[in-house]
Amino acid sequence: ADLSPKQIDRVLTHARYLKQVSMPWLLPQQHNSNNKLRMPSQSLFSKSIALLFSKRSTRTRVAAETAATLLGGRALFLGREDIQLGVNESTRDSARVIGGMCQGIFARVGAHEEIEELANYSPVPVLNALSSLWHPTQVLADLLTLQENAHLFDPSVEPLVSDPHQFASAKQFYPLPKLRPLTVAYVGDSANVLHDMLVSFPRLGHKLRVASPEDEKYRAPKAVWDRVVELGCDKDIWWGKDPKEAVNGADLVVTDTWISMGQEAEKAERLKAFEGYQVTEALCREGGANPEWRFMHCLPRKQDEVDDEVFYGPRSLVFPVSDNRKWTIMALFEPRAPPRTTTMSDGEV
Ligand code: CP
Ligand code: NVA
């Protein structure tokens, strides 16, 4: 919500550039066609980013740690059990102390107010790695993946190079294709990932159709909806309780766990509330989704919200999205503006 569509576009282009420039490091021979090493700029050299995580994480943590390393810096993982925060020290004091030694803080917190307090008192930038209300870095990876796969939604779009060797050794930067406006259905709980979709997708030209149970606790909280309205996104959002109605005309179907971190005690109640909300082939066929619909999920996934046929099937973009967590987070970490050139530069070790 804090980024304009233009700024989102810059982050995505930057992420795509970093992905292409970094690929030689991920290939066995680590060389490009001219037999020269190519590496991303070492813009985090001698810099540290604190990963202040009070909740579990696989993707966000691994993305952040590997991204910081590729940029020549260091990510310092500070889990709940490791530091004084919350037991012997206040958020305010921890923010000042950690910010006095690191150049950035990437924080995964419980209540959203915790990250606001961190940002208020930290002398260095604070990035949200997930809070009760928002999960902005997830949605950047979703958007990058959709743009990279624009050809799946529009036959007139040329597919991007997918062979990793060709991709890594290219002298030219493969820019992101234009994505046509999509109808995106979200079936499930109104949680952090959906909330970031609500404030970004409509501003990028996409329509959202959401289905969640009628009870207020499964609908967007006031703080989120106020932001949606403030950004003028509400006019492109349809919200009902019928999953079949939500997937009508959908090019993309998205869901998330019904039991977010911290809601484990509500498991039985939530499984009951979301009966009939599982994403399946039958649901999307009967609801009248675009026959070519694709599927996304932020992960970690349980079978309740989506069955194996969809999750592991050809419609699924879930693993390309999880790969893209790294490049999008890396783009946020890089202090310099994204390159404007279309030529890939060779670096030296
Ligand atoms: N999608 C996501 O944020 O995953 P993790 O909780 O594993 O970081
Ligand atoms: N809504 C989920 C997202 C996990 C990445 C949660 O908060 O647990």
Q: What pLDDT is stored for residue 349 in this prediction?
A: 37
Q: What pLDDT is stored for residue 161 in this prediction?
A: 84
- Token duo for residue 239: 């919200």
| Centre of ligand 1 from the C-alpha of residue 31, in Å | 31
CA dihedral 47, 50, 56, 62 (to 10 degrees): 0
**Which domain CATH number covers 43?**
3.40.50.1370
Residues that are catalytic: 298
**Most informative mutation of 58, 140, 145, 261 for ligand 1 (most atoms within 8 A of CB):** 58
Q: Residues near ligand 1 with C-beta < 6 Å?
A: 57-60, 130, 138, 298-300
Amino acid residing at 126: V
Of 41, 42, 33, 35, which is closest to residue 168 (Cα–Cα)?
A: 33
Shared domain for 26 and 97, answered yes or no, is: yes
Shared domain for 196 and 98, answered yes or no, is: no
Flag whether pLDDT at 348 surpasses 60.
no
Domain count, the chain: 2
> What percentage of the chain reaches a pLDDT higher than 90?
84
Ligand 2 close to Cβ of residue 331 (< 6 A): no
Q: Tokens 């997708």 appear where?
A: 201
Instruction: Compute the distance between CA of residue 303 and CA of residue 89 in angstroms, rounded to an integer.
Output: 39
User: Domain for residue 168, yes or no?
Assistant: no
| Centre of ligand 2 from the C-alpha of residue 260, in Å | 5
What is the reported pTM?
0.95
CB-based burial label for 249 (10 Å; 0-12, 13-18, 19+): middle
Shared domain for 218 and 236, answered yes or no, is: yes
Range of the domain at 273: 181-316
Give whole-number Cα distances, 28 to 42, 175, 299, in Å. 21, 25, 28
Shared domain for 329 and 282, answered yes or no, is: no
In this predicted model, what pLDDT tens digit does every residue of 231-252 receive, in sequence order?
A: 999 999 999 999 999 999 999 9
Shared domain for 277 and 307, answered yes or no, is: yes
Q: What pLDDT is stored for residue 21 in this prediction?
A: 85
What is the mean predicted confidence (pLDDT) over 317-333?
97
